[in-house]
């Protein structure tokens, strides 16, 4: 958390900063756990002031501000990774204590990065560094554009469980624990199924339901669940959690077949699935 739909929603929500020139930068430190900022805050602030934000983009589960101008010798990107509890906001944050970065503009409200647990990161990257950290060897095709053929060739040689492959950002970028569970339910596949047993046709199904679920989750502005803190850029909860079929529903009846939804642990993460309608391969 946040995953592709949540980061996409936040990036769209702060999209109004495109075209704005950064006139002020601050990195408040009011908590004991400082987040990773690279280069260090003082140097980064100097690089950012006077730069124009050309565009707001997304790379997997990261928000990316494409920068041009004054302070930079070459185009750079400010890459913000929310990790567990990071939020990109254009309105006052849930609490002052966990504000990690404030970018100010002459003609736009400030852009705030807030992170309660402080596991997020902020990095200013040159083109070359961006390619190294977010290029195709780190982030596979974006899950919104996932194609069955590419997915099949990326996984068919592997014996690991299909759920792990969906979480592997090199296979496809943007999927995390919530959407992996929902995708495998929609595809009718047990999350423990070995990748090498998944057919090309089943990969087509996975790709189709992935695109459909993620697009719908973006329309509903992502999932806000339990004690997680995800909010939209204007600090409203998302609505896709109402559509979850299996995630977080252990012990409840499957909406499709009525069997009891199970929770298991795979690679230290909770996995939810219906033993009635998800086949193990
Ligand atoms: Zn079922």
> pTM for this structure?
0.96
Asked if residue 160 and residue 84 are part of one domain, the reply reads no
Q: Is residue 280 part of a domain?
A: no
Q: Is residue 35 part of a domain?
A: yes
Asked if residue 158 and residue 256 are part of one domain, the reply reads yes
CATH assignment at residue 48: 3.20.190.10
Give the sheet arrangement for strand 111-115, strand by strand.
22-26, 99-105, 111-115, 86-89
Active-site annotation holds for 3: yes
Active-site annotation holds for 160: no
Q: Is residue 151 part of a domain?
A: yes
Active-site annotation holds for 57: no
Tell me how far the alpha carbon of residue 244 lies from the centroid of ligand 1, in angstroms: 13
In terms of residue numbers, what domain contains 208? 143-273
Distance CA 222, CA 226 (A): 14
Q: Is residue 198 part of a domain?
A: yes
Residue whose tokens read 């707001």: 56
The residue among 115, 134, 153 that closes a domain is 134
Asked if residue 161 and residue 130 are part of one domain, the reply reads no
Asked if residue 127 and residue 81 are part of one domain, the reply reads yes
Active-site annotation holds for 2: yes
* Domains in the chain, number: 2
What digits encode the pLDDT tens for the residues 216-267?
Answer: 999 999 999 976 689 999 999 999 999 999 999 999 999 999 999 999 999 9
What digits encode the pLDDT tens for the residues 103-158?
Answer: 999 999 999 999 999 999 999 999 899 999 999 999 999 999 999 999 999 999 99
Asked if residue 113 and residue 30 are part of one domain, the reply reads yes
CATH assignment at residue 266: 1.10.8.50
The band of 68, judged by pLDDT with boundaries at 50, 70 and 90, is confident
Calculate the CA dihedral of residues 223, 226, 62, 103 and round it to 10 degrees: 100
Asked if residue 68 and residue 180 are part of one domain, the reply reads no
The residue among 117, 134, 151 that closes a domain is 134
Tell me how far the alpha carbon of residue 255 lies from the centroid of ligand 1, in angstroms: 7
User: Of the listed 66, 211, 269, 281, which one is catalytic?
Assistant: 269
């Amino acid at each position: 958390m946040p995953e592709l739909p949540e980061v996409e929603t936040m990036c769209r929500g702060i999209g109004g900063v495109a075209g704005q020139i950064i006139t002020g930068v601050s990195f408040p430190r009011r908590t004991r756990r400082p987040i990773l900022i690279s280069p260090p805050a003082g140097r980064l602030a100097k690089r950012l002031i006077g730069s124009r934000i050309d565009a707001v983009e997304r790379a997997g589960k990261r928000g990316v501000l494409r920068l041009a101008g004054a302070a930079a010798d070459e185009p750079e990107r400010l890459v913000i990774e929310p990790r567990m509890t990071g939020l990109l906001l254009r309105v006052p944050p849930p609490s002052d204590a966990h504000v990690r970065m404030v970018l100010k503009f002459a003609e736009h409200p400030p852009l705030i990065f807030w992170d309660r647990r402080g596991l997020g990161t902020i990095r200013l990257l040159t083109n070359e560094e961006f390619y190294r950290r977010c290029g195709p060897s780190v982030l596979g095709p974006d899950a919104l554009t996932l194609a069955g053929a590419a997915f099949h060739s990326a996984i068919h040689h592997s014996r690991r469980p299909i759920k792990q492959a969906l979480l592997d950002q090199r296979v496809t970028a943007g999927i995390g624990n919530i959407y992996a569970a929902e995708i495998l339910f929609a595809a009718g596949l047990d999350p423990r199924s070995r990748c090498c047993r998944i057919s090309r046709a089943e990969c087509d199904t996975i790709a189709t339901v992935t695109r459909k679920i993620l697009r719908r989750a973006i329309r509903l502005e992502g999932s806000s669940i339990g004690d997680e803190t995800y909010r939209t850029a204007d600090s409203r909860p998302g609505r896709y959690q109402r559509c979850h079929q299996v995630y977080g529903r252990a012990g409840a009846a499957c909406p499709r077949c009525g069997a009891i939804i199970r929770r298991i642990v795979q690679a230290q993460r909770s996995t939810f699935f219906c033993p009635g309608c998800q086949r193990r391969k």
